[in-house]
Amino acid sequence: MQEDWWKGKVIYQIYPRSFCDSNGDGIGDLRGIIRKLDYLKELGVDLLWISPLYASPNYDNGYDISDYYAIHPDFGTMEDFDRLVAEAKKWGLGILMDLVINHTSTAHPWFQKSIRKEEPYTDFYIWRPGRGKKKPNNWTGFFGGDTWEYVPERGEYYLHLFAKEQADLNFRNPRVIEAVEKVMDFWLAKGVMGFRCDVINIIHKDSLENGRFRPVLRGSEYYLSRPGLHSLLKRFHRNVWEKYRAFTVGETVFVSPEEAKKLTDPKRGELTAVFAFAHMETDCFGVKWFPRPFSPARFFKVLAKWQEALPWNTVYFENHDQPRSLSRFGDADRYPRESGKALALLLLSLRGTPFIYQGQELGMTNFDFTAMDQVEDVESHQIWGIVEKFHLPKRLYWKVMRAKSRDNARTPMQWTGEAGGGFSTGRPWLGMNHNHVERNADKEGQDPRSLLNFYRRLLAFHRSSPALREGTFEELYRKGSVWAFARRSPEGERLRFVINLSKTAKKSPITGTCLFSSYEETELGATLRPYEAALLGEESKSGKEEA
Ligand code: TEU
Ligand code: CA
């Protein structure tokens, strides 16, 4: 297997609770995924990243693991998992596991033994005594609020950067490092192709000093991409990942291009790729709970900066933590098809590994929930608790919650127009979006002009085009809502891309014959209509364009 076998591959993310339920209990499962492998193959993706499948009390839907070696019974058995790997392989699809090692569930036996100081688990977590009546330090967490929880039985506090049911592991303890290496080895030996590494750039804590004042994530200067992280990753790479040629994509929060470059430099031997967040933070001030209107200009500026800064990027507009891209960056009401296709074209025209999140290919939109009791997500509830506690303006925050809750991405996959959406014959664990009646895989499959069929054609083209798979990125034009760039393969294939990500018509900086168009046009003239995007072939010799 070649070292960079993953280059040019397209990844599809599955949120297993919401993908396909095979037994009618309302929860998606492994047999459900197996049932849909033909759909995924026909779509044209290569690797499936599946959000956590492990045993878990589900405070954070599997991101709180209580046994790294067991499949959650909701999802099936280890035999089902092995069958999935084998069946996927027959379809030419590889599996990526979600590796959550910054923390475990407090229900994990390691944590339970750590409370009782049973060796070797005493220092598996980050325990500290309080400072008089005060907590060990002033850090604040990712879900808002506290990061320390007192356990009377041990007489100490433990650190948790997420929910209090998620205790941070202590990576200064060599025993912890060995334990997680064993976990990685176990899954790679089963034939998975690699990992998506959850919040990997925060696993190493430099110190536990008080953080300086900042409105969110106080204390993060002591754990965001610290030098100790690089040593840990080098070690994982050397001891485990390298021998399997594993693909490792790190979820790296608040990462700078400089850090990202180090983390993915093949000469250093750390991660294969990283998810940066910068483009997902262009419609807010730093964190999503302080929103501002979406600006395509800011979005393109950030994307362009990262395209140029890194030798290889990941490209994603959605995942299980983010609102739906059609609702967020497009126009789900007036231009669902055009803006959905424009975003699809942008996603697959940029340089890097593209990630498609389940339902994105159908144009699934934000969850149409009307009350907090329809929301399951732990983060949403923690934030809502803060809104209530501090009497923040509810009308305003309700709007923010509707736009930003992570459950926007977690509603069940819309397979058919029936009740239960073809996702489940029972009652789905989270509400189905009502628009599943109109927008679903079944219906779209039969419509040649649907978003789903557009994705299928585009992915087939992507596979056959060295320029899209691996070509260089060259910016041609960027102003307001209009962006144009070119991709060129080593063999000289050159493609040009242009997009107008707005509701108003704009002048186009390039013209030519369309390989793909969000309006399904064959020629692009001087004007870009609302949400018009196009992928153009080589410019004709006679045509003189400002490119
Ligand atoms: O996400 C990390 C992370 O940065 C998010 O929690 C982010 O702060 C939040 O989603 C913004 O809305 C990863 C997982 O993707 C997420 O699902 C987990 O909850 C989290 O880690 C803890 O494991
Ligand atoms: Ca089920």
CA dihedral 517, 520, 524, 527 (to 10 degrees): -90
- Atom in ligand 1 nearest the alpha carbon of residue 60: 19
CA distance 326 to 318: 10
The CA 42 to ligand 1 mean position distance, Å, reads 30
Q: Whose CA is nearest to atom 23 of ligand 1?
A: 63
Cβ of 199 closer than 6 Å to ligand 1, yes or no, is yes
Distance 413 CA to ligand 1 centre (A): 21
Residue of the CA atom closest to atom 14 of ligand 1: 198
Active site residues: 198, 251
The number of the ligand nearest the C-alpha atom of 357 reads 1
As given in the structure block, the two tokens for residue 282 are: 């262009």
Alpha carbon of 130 to ligand 1 centroid (Å): 27
Q: Ligand 1, closest atom to CA 277?
A: 4
Residue among 433, 284, 379, 350 nearest 61 (CA) = 379
Which atom in ligand 1 lies closest to the alpha carbon of residue 64?
Answer: 23
- Supply the pLDDT for residue 540: 56
Whether the bond between 120 and the residue before it is cis, its omega within 30 degrees of 0, is yes
Pocket test for ligand 1, best of 63, 106, 324 (most atoms within 8 A of CB): 63
Q: Which two tokens stand for residue 480?
A: 């307001």
Q: Ligand 1 in contact with 406 (CB < 6 A)?
A: yes
Q: Which residues of the chain have pLDDT under 70?
A: 539-547
Tell me, using a 6 A CB cutoff, whether residue 17 lines ligand 1.
Answer: no
Please count the other Cβ atoms lying within 10 Å of the Cβ belonging to residue 191. Answer: 14
- With the CA atoms of 494, 325, 60 and 65 taken in that order, what torsion angle do they form, in degrees rounded to the nearest 10? -10
Pairing verdict, β 482-488 and 472-479: antiparallel
**pLDDT 10s digits, 240-254:** 999 999 999 999 999
What does the pLDDT read at residue 179? 98
What is the reported pLDDT for 445?
98
Q: Is 321 in the pocket of ligand 1 (CB under 6 A)?
A: yes
Interval between CA 208 and ligand 2 midpoint (Å): 42
Q: Best mutation site among 162, 289, 355, 404 for ligand 1, i.e. most ligand atoms within 8 A of its Cβ?
A: 162
CB atoms within 10 A of CB 456: 17
Rounded distance, CA 228 to CA 14, Å? 31
pLDDT of residue 1: 79
What is the structure's pLDDT at 542? 47
Please identify, by atom number, the ligand 1 atom nearest to the C-alpha of residue 406: 12
Three-state SS at 189:
helix
Which atom of ligand 1 is found nearest the CA of 321? 10
The pTM assigned to this predicted structure is 0.97
> E strands within 135-236?
148-151, 156-159, 166-168, 194-197
Q: How far is the CA of 54 from the centre of ligand 2 (A)?
A: 15
Sign of CA dihedral 110, 114, 116, 122: positive
Is the CB of residue 379 below 6 angstroms from any atom belonging to ligand 1? yes
Secondary structure (3-state) at 41: helix
The residues that bridge with 98 in the sheet, in sequence order, are 196
